Chain A
Amino acid sequence: MTESQRLGPLADPAQFTDALNIAGYAADDLKRLLRAMLTIRFAEEAVADLVETGEAVCPCHLGIGQEAIAVGVSSALRRTDRVYGNHRSHSHYLALGGELFAMYAEILGRKTGASQGMGGSMHLYAPEVGFSGSVPIVGATIPIAVGAGLAAKMDGKGDVAVTYFGDGACEEGVVHESLNMAAVYKLPVLFVCENNLYASHLDIGLRQPSDSTARFAKAHSIPYRVIDGNDVTAVIKAAGELVKAAREGGGPGFLEAVTFRWRGHVGPKEDIDVGVRRKPEILAAWRHRDPVRRLRDSMIEADLVTSVDVEKTCADIKCTVAKAVANARKADYPGTNALLDLVYAPRRHQ
Chain B
Amino acid sequence: MSAPVSYAEAILQAFRYLLGNYPEVFAIGQGLWSPWYVGASMKDLDKEFGQARVIDTPISELATTGAAIGASLNGYRPIVIHPRMDFMVLATDQIVNQAAKWRHMLGGKSPAVTIRGIVNRGGEQGAQHSQALHAWYAHVPGLRVVMPATPEDARDLLIAATLCDDPVLYIDDRWLYDLSAEMPPPGPIDLTTQLPKVLRVGTDITLVAASYSVTLARKAAEVLAKKGVSAEVIDLRIVNPLDHGTTCASVKKTGRLLAIDGGWRTCGLAGEIIAGAVESLPPSAFRARPRRITLPDAPAPTSKLLEKVYYPNTERVVAAVEEMLAE
Contacts and interface: CB of A to CB of B under 8 A. Distances in A.
Interface residues of B, number: 37
Interface stretch (B123-131, B160-168, B211-219, B250-258): B123-131
Contacts of B37: 200-201
Given A59-B129, A119-B127, A171 B59 contact: yes
Given A58-B124, A59-B129, A168 B59 contact: yes
B126 A123 contact: yes
B275 interface: no
B31 A200 contact: yes
The SS class assigned to the A binding surface is: loop
Nearest to B305: A333
Interface string A195-206: 000011110001
Interface string B107-132: 00000000000000001111111000
Interface string A248-278: 0000000000000000110000001100100
Nearest to A113: B303
Given A336-B306, A340-B298, A120 B59 contact: no
B285 interface: no
A123 B127 CA distance: 9
A59 B128 CA distance: 12
Nearest to B46: A276
A135 interface: yes
A117 B33 contact: no
B62 A119 contact: no
Given A119-B126, A120-B124, A343-B298, A57 B310 contact: no
The SS class assigned to the B binding surface is: loop
B302 A119 contact: yes
B17 interface: no
Interface residues of A, number: 41
Interface string A154-172: 0000000000000011011
A119 B128 CA distance: 9
B56 interface: yes
B261 to A, nearest CB: 18
Interface string A55-67: 0011100000000
A339 interface: yes
Contacts of B299: 343
Contacts of A333: 303-306
A207 interface: yes
Nearest to B309: A336
Contact of A173 (B57, B63, B87, B310): B63
B327 interface: no
A172 B304 contact: no
A138 B35 CA distance: 21
Contacts of B129: 59, 122, 136
A117 B303 contact: yes
B302 A135 contact: no
Contacts of B34: 200-202, 276
Given A117-B302, A200-B31, A109 B124 contact: yes
Contacts of A35: none
B306 A334 contact: yes
B58 interface: yes
Given A117-B302, A118-B302, A57 B123 contact: yes
A107 to B, nearest CB: 9
Contact of B90 (A120, A172, A201): A172
A340 B31 contact: no
Interface string A118-146: 11101100000000000111110000000
21 contacts: A57-B123, A59-B124, A59-B125, A59-B129, A109-B303, A117-B302, A119-B302, A120-B124, A122-B128, A136-B129, A138-B87, A169-B59, A171-B60, A172-B61, A201-B31, A202-B33, A272-B36, A276-B33, A339-B309, A339-B310, A343-B298
Interface of B: 30-31, 33-37, 56-63, 86-87, 90, 123-129, 296-299, 301-306, 309-310
